[in-house]
A = this chain, B = another copy of it.
Amino acid sequence: MAKIAVMGYGTVGSGVVEILRENGDLVAERCGQKIEVKKVLDLRDFPGDPAQELIVHDIAEIVGDDEISVVCETMGGVDIATKFVTQCLEAGKSVVTSNKAMVAANGSALLKLAQKNNVRFLFEASVGGGIPIIRNLRTCLTADHIQKIFGILNGTTNYMLTKMYDEGADYDAVLKEAQKKGFAEADPSADVEGWDACRKIAILSSIVSGRFVDFQKIHTEGITKITPVDMAYAKAMGRMIRLVGESVVEDDQVHAMVAPMMFDKEHALAGVNMEFNAIFLTSDMLGDTMFYGQGAGKLPTASAVASDVIEAVSSPEAVKRSVWTDEEMPVAEFGSENRRFFARVSGDESLADTLGAQLGSLQVLRAPGIAGEFGIVTGELAEETMAACVKACPEIISVIRMAD
């Protein structure tokens, strides 16, 4: 019998307790022993909830309990979570977390501490919700050099972009609806500004490179500037708009970015709708591989936490090689990446020739019902060339990157 504790009895934490109870027999069979949730840390009480009798309000009750071998951190936030996780690791307990903000900020130190104390620090649920992308990177694609990660990493914004595309609704209306349905938080900035996706692409890049990639150095754009007019152009081109995280991992640096992109409807990522996530990997031997699933939600995320609990119970000792070290992997300065761009330009088409000459634009576009402006798709350009052109040409209303 293994005894564990859960810190934070919110959506994910209560889901973990539920899965370990509901699928207890299956879990016991896979672990070779039963897993019992012995204590649940939360500031609140939950009268009437089956977990009420497990509730403790003081972290010391978990840290000081020698029977507890694994602790799930599902509180969220950075500072207090990091403090509590540190105490658990120092007390010789393995820690499993769904907290991407903590992992992106302090993962290097926590991984190091876990190695030092010969325990596990696992965080499958921090990226891609129920998609087992981290375990795949750690244990499946082991004979391959992963060259590129490219994916839809945030369910909230994908839900919003799908709705905007399908219903022609504007950003504010869709955001309100997403908040009402619980897909977006009251303060949605972490999702809509791209920071959540940025932390996730930083975590994946750290795993692939084996070195710490600082999310704060990754160029990040959200979806707050996407309008129904952009959707109209996307439809006219047979494309969809998706918020993606991209990371090209080289030997000595990564090129990484989070931004909305225009996808051809035939592209596998264009078919990823609503709150689903998908992650494309390109590697030297396997070629392209894609993992698709629910990127958020109580049970999918809790299932990922539970699979980490099973791993920590089954293999409690630190692995030989840390997932990543605290040596920093430089993020390349943003600007040299080459790609095509879609741009909206105000006025009639008199500017089309000038811009065409400057940007190697191949197409001039009109979207039905949109007057007083036109769209262009450029040839392949460096990011910095496009940025300079936008600065110099006030007629350019907005720019969205093309995904191929």
Contacts and interface: CB of A to CB of B under 8 A. Distances in A.
Interface of A: 19-20, 22-23, 26-27, 29-30, 32, 130-132, 135-136, 139-145, 266, 268, 271, 283-294, 297, 299-300, 302-304, 306-307, 309-311, 320-321
Contacts of A32: 320-321
A126 to B, nearest CB: 15
A26 B290 CA distance: 22
Contacts of A303: 141, 143-144, 283, 285-286
A289 B130 CA distance: 8
Q: Copy number in this complex?
A: 2
A77 to B, nearest CB: 25
A285 B271 contact: no
Nearest to A286: B130
A158 B293 CA distance: 23
B288 A289 contact: no
Nearest to A124: B140
A315 to B, nearest CB: 9
7 contacts: A19-B285, A23-B144, A130-B285, A130-B286, A135-B140, A286-B303, A288-B293
Contacts of A300: 285-287
A312 to B, nearest CB: 12
Contacts of A311: 139, 142
Contacts of A293: 286-290
A297 B300 CA distance: 33
Given A26-B145, A132-B141, A271-B271, A287 B292 contact: no
A293 B292 CA distance: 11
Contact of A271 (B266, B297, B299, B320): B266
A23 B143 CA distance: 7
Given A23-B284, A29-B321, A307 B268 contact: no
A131 B290 CA distance: 9
B287 A290 contact: no
Contact of A135 (B130, B139, B266, B309): B139
Contacts of A309: 143
B132 A285 contact: no
A310 B141 CA distance: 10
Contact of A299 (B19, B268, B286, B294): B286
B27 A310 contact: no
Contacts of A289: 130-132, 291-294
Nearest to A15: B285
B30 A142 contact: yes
A95 B320 CA distance: 23
Given A23-B285, A144-B303, 11 more contacts: A30-B142, A32-B320, A32-B321, A130-B286, A132-B141, A139-B311, A140-B307, A144-B307, A268-B271, A287-B293, A291-B292
